[in-house]
Amino acid sequence: MSLNLPQERVFAASPPLWKRFVAFLADLFILDAVIGSPFQRVVPAMTGGFGDTMEFLNARPDIAVSLSLVMLAYGLLAVLYFSILEYRLGATPGKMLFGISVRGEEQRFSPYILRNLPMLLIFPFFILLFIDVVYILVRKDSRRLSELISRTSTVQYYAL
Partner 1 sequence: MKQVKKRRWVTVVVVLLALFVLAIFFSGLISLASGAGRGAGNVAIVPIKGVILTSGGGFMQGAAVSGEIVQQIEDADANPDIRAILLEIDSPGGAPVASNEIATAIGRTNKTTVAWIRESGTSGAYWIASATDYIVADPLSITGSIGVIGSYLDFSGLLTDFNVSYERLVGGQYKDVGVPYRKLSAEEKRYLQKKIDLMHGVFKDAVAKNRHLSRSEIDVLATGEFFLGMEAKNVRLVDELGGKREALGYVERTLNMTAVPVVYERESSLIESILSSVESKFGAPKVQVSGMKATLQ
Q: Are strands 100-104 and 152-159 parallel, antiparallel or unpaired?
A: antiparallel
9 contributes a contact to partner 1 by CB under 8 A: no
User: Out of 25, 29, 38, 158, which residue is the one contacting partner 1 (CB under 8 A)?
Assistant: 38
Are the C-beta atoms of residues 81 and 32 closer than 8 Å to each other? no
Is the backbone peptide bond immediately before 124 cis, with ω within 30 degrees of 0?
A: yes
73 contributes a contact to partner 1 by CB under 8 A: yes
Question: What gap in Å lies between CA 158 and CA 13, rounded to an integer?
Answer: 8
User: Out of 22, 24, 28, 56, which residue is the one contacting partner 1 (CB under 8 A)?
Assistant: 56
DSSP classification of residue 158: E
x/- mask, partner 1, residues 97-136, rule CB under 8 A, reads ----------------------------------------
Q: Which stretch binds partner 1 (CB under 8 A): 55-63, 104-112, 142-150, 151-159?
A: 55-63
CB under 8 Å to 78, separation ≥6 — which residues?
31, 35, 116, 119, 120, 121
User: Where do contacts with partner 1 occur on this chain (CB under 8 A)?
Assistant: 30, 34-39, 41-42, 45-48, 56, 59-60, 63, 65-66, 69-70, 73-74, 77, 80-81, 84-85, 88-89, 93, 96
